[in-house]
Amino acid sequence: MTQMPAIKPNPHYRKSALRDRMWKYRYHYLLFIPVLVVTFLFYYLPIGGIRFSFFRYTPFSPPSWVGWANFERLLFQRPAFWTAFNNTLILSLSNLALSMICSVVLSLLLNEVSTRWVKRSLQTVVYLPHFLSWVVVAAIFTIILAPGNNPATSGLINAYLLKWGIVQKPIYFLADSKWWTPVYLFISRWKETGWGTVIFLATLTSISPDLYEAAQIDGAGRWRQMLNVTLPALANTFVVVLILNLSKVMNLFESVLVLQNARVERATEVIQTYVYHTALTAQSAEYGYPTAVGLFRSLISSVLVISCNFASKKINGRGIL
C-alpha cells in the first residue's frame, strides 16, 4: 500500500495511453495492411524509381550515372520535348475551356426542359458516351470519319461530304495534322459534355424556387431570372469544377494515345505519349531520358494540384484532395 498510482501522476501516462489506444485498434491496423502494401509497391516504389532520370539506362545496358545530362537534353537539345509540352498545354487548356462552356450551356438548356420524361431521356442520351472507353470512342470515330475516294468506300461523314459535293477529295480528319486537333476537341466534347452537366444540374435543382418567385414578383422575365438568379447560383460550382479540372491539365494521355496514328504523331504528341513512345515503343528504347521527362511533368502537375487545392480551400472552404 505504499504506491498510490491513482493519485500520483504517472510520467508514462500519455505514452501508455497511446499504446492502449493502439492496442484497442489492433484489428484496424491489421485490416489496413493490404492497402499499405499495395500503395507502397505501386505508388511509392515508382517514386523511388525517379533516380533513373540521372542515369543512362536502356533495356540492353545497366544504368550508369550521367548527372543532369538527361535534363539538359530535354531542355536544350530535344525540340520534340517542347513540341509535346506545348501540345499538352494547347490541347488540355482548349479542351478545358470548351468543356466548361459546353457543359454549362447544356445544363441551362436541359434545366429549362419542363416535361419530365423528355428531360430524363435527353439525359440518358447525353450521358451515354461517358461510359464508353476511349478505345471504343476512337474506334467509332475512326470508322465514321474514314476517308475514301467515293461515298461508298468512305466513312459516313466523308460519304455525305462527297455526295453533296461539299468537297471534291475526302478529308483525312484523323491523319491530317491541320484537322486532328479540332477533331480531337470535338470527340472529347461528344464523349464528356453530357456527363459534365451532372454536377451543374444538381446545383440548378437545388436553387430554391422562392428565389424565382421573388424575381417574378419584382417583374423579372425568364431572361432576367437566368441572369440574376441562375447564373450567380452556378458560379460557385463553376469555380470548383474549373479548379478540379485545372489540376488535371498535365494528365492528358490515353485519349490522345488511341486517336494518334503514325502520320500525325509529331504534331499530336503530348508529354505522356512522348514518354510512352520513347521508353517502350521506340527503336532505340531507353529508360533514363523518358524518366526525366516524366519527372518534369510530375513536378508541374504537383504544383498545379497543390495550388488548385489551396485555391479551392480559399474559395470553397474545402480542398480538392
Grid cell digits, residue 125:
442520351
Q: Which is nearer to another protein, 152 or 217 (CB)?
A: 152
82-101: contacts with another protein (CB under 8 A): none
How far is residue 127 from each of residues 123, 131, 220, measured CA to CA in Å? 6, 8, 33
Q: Is 176 in the site for another protein (CB under 8 A)?
A: no
* Of 144, 207, 220, 267, the one binding another protein by CB under 8 A: 144
Q: Is 311 in the site for another protein (CB under 8 A)?
A: no
> Rounded to whole angstroms, how far apart are CA atoms 313 and 271?
29
**Among the listed residues 79, 112, 52, the one whose alpha carbon sits nearest the alpha carbon of residue 289:** 52
* Kind and range of the H or E run holding 55: strand 55-58
* Kind and range of the H or E run holding 168: none
Q: How far is the CB of 5 from another protein (least distance, A)?
A: 23
Q: Is 173 in the site for another protein (CB under 8 A)?
A: no
Q: Which is nearer to another protein, 133 or 208 (CB)?
A: 133
Q: Which is nearer to another protein, 2 or 87 (CB)?
A: 87
Q: How far is the CB of 185 from another protein (least distance, A)?
A: 15
Q: Stretches 7-15, 155-163, 165-173, 177-185: which one binds another protein (CB under 8 A)? A: 155-163
> Torsion angle, CA of 126/143/162/152, rounded to 10 degrees?
-120
Q: How far is the CB of 254 from another protein (least distance, A)?
A: 5
Q: Stretches 30-38, 69-77, 92-100, 207-215: which one binds another protein (CB under 8 A)? A: 30-38
* Of 86, 101, 221, 282, the one binding another protein by CB under 8 A: 221
Q: Which residues pair with 61 in a beta bridge?
A: 58
In eight-state DSSP terms, residue 169 is S
67: left (phi over 0), alpha (psi -120 to 50) or beta: left
* Of 122, 220, 226, 239, the one binding another protein by CB under 8 A: 122
* Cβ contact 76:298 at 8 Å: no
Q: Is 290 in the site for another protein (CB under 8 A)?
A: yes
